[in-house]
Amino acid sequence: MIFRRGRDDDDDDDVDEDEEDLELVLFQGAVNGNTADLSKHGRLVQAALIPAKKLVTDALARRAEMVRIEPKGKLSTSTYFVDGISYPGDRMPGPAALGITQMLKLLAGLDPNVRDKPQSGGINSSYDEKSYEVRIDNQPVQGGAERLIVRWQDPDVTLDTPSDLGFDEALVEKIREYAKKKTGLILVAGPPLGGVTTLAKATVRCVDAYLYSVYCLAHLEKEMSHIRTFQSLEGDTLDQTITRALREDADVLFVDPIRDPDTAKTILDKSERAAFVAEFPAKDAADAISRLVKLSGDPKLVAGKLKLVISQMLIRLLCKKCRHAFRPNPRLLGKIGLPPTTKVLYRPPREDEEEEEEDVCERCGGTGYYGRTGLIEAIEVTDGIKKVILSGANPDALRQQARAEKMQSFQSDGLRVAAEGRTSLEELQRAFKAAR
C-alpha cells in the first residue's frame, strides 16, 4: 500500500533524518502575478511555509494529482488522490491546517484574510526538475473553517488533443461533420473536477481550424493554438459579443459554460447562425440533456438546436510494467460483449503474486495502475432522441434510446480500452459501480 495514516512515535527519529534529506517543492510566484510580500506575514511564514511545502512535496512524491484538507471538528484530515483513488493521509490540529491553507492562498496571490467566500489561484512551482502549476481552491465551511483542494498536472502528461483523451476516429469525424454545418450546439458535460474543460477543448480541436473560423469566447487561463481568442467589450452582453463574432464570419464558437436560463436561451437561439461548443455541469450525457431542457424551459428549442452531447468517465490505466496477461474464458467474452476473437486481456498483479516487499512495482507503487484515461460517451440528437426530449427528456429514457441506437457509451468504450490491454475488467467494474 502506498499510503498510511499517521506514524508511530518510535519512528520519529528516522522520519526526521529522512525529512532532512527530502528535497522540497520550490514555489516560484503566483500564476496571477500578485507577488506575495512574505515580510508582512512573518508569523504565518514561520509557522506554515515549511509544512505547506512538505504537504505538496509529499503528494508529488507519491504521484498524487490532488490533496484535500478538510476540517473534522477540532482536527483536520488530509486525503491524497492517486489516479482518482483516495488514500488517507495524516490528521492534524485545526490551527495547523488553517495555517497551511492561509500560506498556500498567500503564495497563490489570494487574500489569506478572506475566509467567507471561495477563492481560486495558482502557484508556479518546480519539483524534481519538473515545472508544475499548483492550483489552489478553498471553500468556506460551517464554523469559520475552510476546505482546501490542491491540484496539479504532471507536465509529462499532455491532454491537449482528441487522441490524448481517447477520442476514436469515428467520434472525431462526427464532431467535424457538425462543425461543417456551421449550426447547432455541441454540449460537453460532466461533474465538477471531472476534466470537463479539458474535454471541451479537445472537442474544439476536432474542428479543422485551417478550414473554418473557430473563435474562443470562453474565459480560459491559456489561449488555444490556432484558435482566435475573441474579446468581449466592456459592458457587452453575451448576446452582443456573439453577434460581433458572427459579423466577423465565425463558423464555430467555443463559449463559457452554460449555467443559467438566459445563457442557455441565448446560445440555443444564436446556434442558428454558427456551431457552438459549450460546457455543462451534469452527471453524464443523458443527464445533461434533461437538465438543459429544464434550464431552458423549451424542449422544442433544445430538440431543434442541440446536436451532440459528449461526456467522459475517468478510469485507471494498467501499469505497463507489472500488468498480467491472461486468456479470457469464451463464456466471459460473450457475457460482457467482447468478440470471441479476443485472445488476451490484462489485469493488475494480485497480492499473492507479490510475496516480498522488494517485489512491489516501483513504477506504480504496487497499485497495478499508472495514470488515467477517459471513457467517452456520445449521444447524438437523432429523430429518436428528439422524440424522447419532446416527451419529457427523462434521463433513463434517453439512455435507453441511445442504447437502442447503439450510440457510443461508457460501457462500449470501456470494453474497447480493455480489449486494447490498457485497462482491466476489474477497473471497469469499479468505475461503473462508483458512478451509479
Q: Is the pLDDT of residue 68 over 50?
A: yes
On whether the CB atoms of residues 120 and 137 are closer than 8 A, the answer is yes
Q: pLDDT for 110-123, tens place per residue?
A: 999 898 999 999 99
What does the alpha-carbon distance between residue 121 and residue 360 come to, in Å, rounded to a whole number? 37
Structure-model confidence comparison of residues 291 and 37, the more confident one: 291
Residue 15 pLDDT class (50, 70, 90 cuts): very low
Mean pLDDT of the chain: 90
Residue 407 pLDDT class (50, 70, 90 cuts): very high
Q: Which fold has domain 9-151?
A: Beta-Lactamase (3.30.450)
> For 364-400, b where at least 16 C-beta lie within 10 A, e where not — what string?
bbbbbbbbbbbbbbbbbbeeebbebbeeebbbebbbe
On whether the CB atoms of residues 215 and 228 are closer than 8 A, the answer is yes
What does the alpha-carbon distance between residue 213 and residue 228 come to, in Å, rounded to a whole number? 8
Residue 21 pLDDT class (50, 70, 90 cuts): low
Q: Phi/psi of residue 130, each to 5°?
A: -125, 150
Strands (DSSP E) found in 285-407: 306-318, 324-326, 345-347, 369-380
Cell of 128: 524534481
Domain ranges of the chain: 9-151, 169-435
Q: Which of 33-47, 171-185, 348-362 has the lowest mean pLDDT?
A: 348-362
196: left (phi over 0), alpha (psi -120 to 50) or beta: alpha
What does the alpha-carbon distance between residue 85 and residue 65 come to, in Å, rounded to a whole number? 10
Q: Is the pLDDT of residue 148 over 50?
A: yes
CATH superfamily of this structure's domain 169-435: P-loop containing nucleotide triphosphate hydrolases (3.40.50.300)
Q: Is the pLDDT of residue 191 over 60?
A: yes
What does the alpha-carbon distance between residue 410 and residue 399 come to, in Å, rounded to a whole number? 11
Please give the pLDDT value at position 359. Answer: 74
Please give the pLDDT value at position 77. Answer: 95
3-state secondary structure of 138: strand
